[in-house]
């Protein structure tokens, strides 16, 4: 019974985390970009949301990590459990890098631009810096998302241990 509870808990927190990441990337960010024309305001809003999602993701990731390690106590489940733990750890590292390095850089550049991003020529160094930081952000965020989705997919594998 314990194994089933841990399995379900791991799947639920990974599903919540994946859903939150997807909701931000595919729904919130595109809508916010269209609705908030000033880049500095947009960057502040998105930065706040990414930081909140980072906290939420860290909490979900911690629970998923503990659940995977508990499931790794079973020798038959250990390889997949450790793979999930590795994926969750990579997602946590990516999320931390995103919130502590990438987002502050984007906010700083956006503050220098001030107005709409389209008001700045693509050859302007500030625009090139922002576009580069945004590309990095997309890669880092995408990596975290794929790691969480991969861990979620692996969480479904393996049979619960029969408790005696």
**What is the spatial distance between Cα 142 and Cα 25, in angstroms, rounded to a whole number?**
9
Q: Which two three-digit tokens encode residue 78?
A: 């250990």
Residue with the bigger pLDDT between 162 and 153: it is: 153
Q: Is the pLDDT of residue 77 over 80?
A: yes
Q: What is the mean pLDDT of residues 88-99?
A: 96
Task: Kindly state whether residue 98 falls inside one of the protein's structural domains.
Answer: yes
Look at the chain and report how many structural domains it folds into. Answer: 1
| Domain annotation covers residue 129 | yes
Spatial distance between the Cα atoms of 157 and 73, rounded to a whole number of angstroms = 16
pLDDT reported for residue 118: 77
Query: Above pLDDT 90, what percent of the chain?
Result: 72
Domain containing 106: what range?
Answer: 2-155
Q: First CA to last CA across the chain, in angstroms?
A: 10
pLDDT for the residue 164: 52
User: What is the rounded CA–CA span in Å between residue 21 and residue 15?
Assistant: 10
Residue 164 lies in a domain: no
Residue 163 lies in a domain: no
Per-residue model confidence as pLDDT tens digits over 10-19? 999 999 999 9
Say what the pTM is: 0.87
- Which residues are within 8 A (CB) of 95 and not within 5 positions of it... i.e. 6 or more apart? 53, 54, 57, 58, 61, 144
């Amino acid at each position: 019974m314990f194994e089933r509870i841990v399995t379900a808990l791991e799947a639920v927190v990974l599903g919540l985390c994946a859903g939150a990441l997807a909701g931000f990337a595919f729904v919130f960010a595109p809508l916010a970009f269209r609705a908030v024309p000033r880049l500095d305001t947009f960057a502040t809003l998105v930065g706040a949301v990414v930081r909140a999602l980072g906290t939420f993701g860290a909490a979900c990731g911690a629970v998923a990590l503990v659940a995977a390690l508990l499931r790794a106590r079973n020798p038959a489940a250990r390889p997949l459990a450790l793979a999930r733990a590795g994926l969750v750890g990579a997602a946590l590292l990516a999320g931390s890098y995103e919130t502590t390095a990438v987002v502050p850089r984007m906010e700083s550049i956006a503050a220098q631009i001030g107005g709409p991003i389209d008001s700045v020529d693509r050859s302007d160094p500030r625009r090139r810096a922002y576009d580069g930081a945004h590309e990095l952000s997309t890669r880092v965020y995408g990596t975290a998302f794929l790691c969480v989705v991969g861990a979620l997919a692996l969480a479904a594998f393996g049979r619960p241990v029969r408790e005696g």
